């Protein structure tokens, strides 16, 4: 199994380029199931999750062809198979996003109940309620969800929680439904905006993009198009944490600052300022140590849960005690015990992490429990004294493109090594 061996304390200096968004790419890839034709997708990140989605599309009958470094041709000559099997769906939760597009294209779909990171239950009931609202009949048996409809008909859908996946899946199912579908309490993440913009370019009629009320007017036909994926705001936020901890010597480029407002507000509260020079952003502080703060994860545009672990690593260096309240996922503090192994002083009280600052990290053997936890441990390792071995980095490979290469380019002493499975 692969691991990262990191020798901490190297001087970090240079510019980190942000790749295309994983969380925008996956639903857009799923959406290529809706209409037949040849798609050209650009700025697609080279990630394990993306490769898994390619395999799933191919299993359903589509063809995937790489045409340049981050550009792909997706050829849809018709869906040949309406079953997304457990062997692929179990490894990536976003695989469930093929259900809405298959319903739109074929009026039927059979998809295994999903897997993914172990950060919470994340049930798919909101997806299924949305499908039922627009006319699909749902049956769950033997670990699979089967949906079928003679005709999808627009309706009002009110989400109990602004679920990103449910919002995306319902939108994709509704674009060819008869009449108008309105999603109330829709999630507002930029990745949903990107999906809607892609679908509108295909010929869909989606209004209210970026708001909590999305209106989809069904159309008879959509067409394949060429499209470029937005940058990954979570990778950008991760790199901005590194910029702060390098005292502004590391720059970050190729991202949209407007996608990170909630995160940047917290950086400013800590005592940092974001400076821009020719499209490169640097995080600098006028204080010796970051200030302690309180943070609560929230749906967009609030502070993103996907940057909670990385910010926690930063707050370990603060001059005081900070608190992070996790409101999105119930199991998203599994990195705490690993950070504590490296010298952090963090205690958990329910869904609140209490972080005492003024610590010094020391290298240790640690284990990534999920994608973002892995990123936090890598940051801690870069700032540690001695050697850190981050195991189970297959989690990190799901969401960060060529991370060790990017970090080496700014001076990090990091290597991918083989270790025995534990």
Instruction: Point out the residues that are catalytic.
Output: 117
348 in Cβ contact with 333 (< 8 Å): yes
What CA–CA distance (Å, rounded) separates 27 from 85? Answer: 18
361 in Cβ contact with 331 (< 8 Å): no
Per the annotation, binding residues for UDP-N-acetyl-alpha-D-glucosamine are 93, 122-126, 306, 328
What CA–CA distance (Å, rounded) separates 87 from 283? Answer: 42
Q: At what angle do helices 22-31 and 190-202 cross, to 10 degrees?
A: 30
What CA–CA distance (Å, rounded) separates 56 from 30? Answer: 9
Per the annotation, binding residues for phosphoenolpyruvate are 22-23
Order of strands across the sheet with 352-356? 294-296, 321-325, 352-356, 345-349
The candidate with the shortest Cα–Cα distance to 175, out of 159, 197, 158, is 197
Report residue 349 as tokens. Answer: 């009280």
What CA–CA distance (Å, rounded) separates 98 from 52? Answer: 12
What CA–CA distance (Å, rounded) separates 263 from 205? Answer: 32
Report residue 155 as tokens. Answer: 């309706």
The candidate with the shortest Cα–Cα distance to 166, out of 204, 132, 115, is 132
In 10 A of CB 209, how many CB atoms?
18
Three-state DSSP class for 73?
A: strand
Order of strands across the sheet with 156-158? 156-158, 180-184, 213-217, 205-207
309 in Cβ contact with 375 (< 8 Å): yes
What CA–CA distance (Å, rounded) separates 291 from 357? Answer: 9
Measured distance between the N- and C-terminal CA atoms of the chain, rounded to whole angstroms: 9
Omega before 301 cis (within 30°)? Answer: yes
The candidate with the shortest Cα–Cα distance to 399, out of 2, 3, 23, 5, is 23
Report residue 46 as tokens. Answer: 């080279």
360 in Cβ contact with 343 (< 8 Å): yes
Cα 410 → chain centroid:
24
């Amino acid at each position: 199994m692969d691991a990262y061996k990191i020798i901490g304390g190297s001087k970090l200096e240079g510019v980190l380029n942000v790749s295309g968004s994983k969380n925008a790419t996956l639903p857009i890839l799923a959406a290529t199931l809706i209409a037949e034709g040849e798609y050209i997708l650009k700025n697609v990140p080279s990630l394990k999750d993306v490769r898994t989605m390619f395999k799933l599309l191919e299993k359903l009958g589509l063809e995937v062809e790489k045409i340049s470094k981050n550009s792909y041709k997706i050829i849809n000559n018709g869906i040949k198979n309406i079953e997304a099997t457990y062997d692929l769906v179990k490894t990536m939760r976003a695989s469930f996003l093929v259900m809405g597009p298959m319903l739109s294209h074929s009026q039927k779909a059979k998809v295994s109940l999903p897997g993914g990171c172990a950060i919470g239950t994340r049930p798919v009931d909101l997806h299924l309620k949305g499908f039922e609202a627009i006319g699909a009949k749902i049956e769950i048996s033997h670990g699979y969800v089967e949906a079928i409809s003679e005709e999808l008909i627009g309706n009002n859908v009110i989400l109990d929680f602004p679920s990103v996946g449910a919002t995306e899946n319902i939108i994709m199912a509704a674009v060819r439904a008869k009449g108008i579908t309105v999603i109330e309490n829709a999630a507002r993440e930029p990745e949903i905006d990107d999906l809607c913009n892609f679908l509108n370019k295909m010929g869909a009629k989606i209004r209210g993009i970026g708001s909590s009320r999305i209106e989809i007017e069904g159309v008879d036909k959509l067409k394949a198009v060429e499209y470029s994926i937005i940058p990954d705001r979570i990778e950008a936020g991760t790199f901005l944490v590194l910029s702060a901890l390098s005292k502004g010597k590391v720059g970050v480029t190729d991202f949209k600052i407007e996608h990170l407002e909630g995160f940047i507000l917290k950086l400013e509260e800590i005592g940092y300022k974001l400076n821009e020079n020719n499209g490169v952003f640097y995080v600098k502080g006028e204080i010796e140590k970051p200030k302690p703060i309180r943070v609560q994860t929230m749906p967009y545009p609030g502070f993103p849960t996907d940057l909670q672990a990385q910010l926690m690593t930063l707050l370990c260096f603060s001059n005081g005690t900070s608190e992070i309240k996790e409101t999105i996922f119930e199991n998203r503090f599994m990195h705490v015990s690993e950070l504590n192994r490296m010298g952090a002083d963090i205690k958990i009280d329910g869904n609140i992490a209490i972080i005492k600052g003024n610590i010094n990290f020391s290298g240790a053997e640690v284990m990534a429990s999920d994608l973002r936890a892995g990123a936090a441990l890598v940051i801690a390792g870069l700032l540690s004294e001695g050697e850190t071995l981050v195991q189970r980095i297959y989690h990190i490979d799901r969401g960060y493109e060529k991370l060790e290469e990017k970090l080496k380019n700014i001076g990090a002493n990091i290597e991918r090594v083989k270790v025995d499975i534990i």
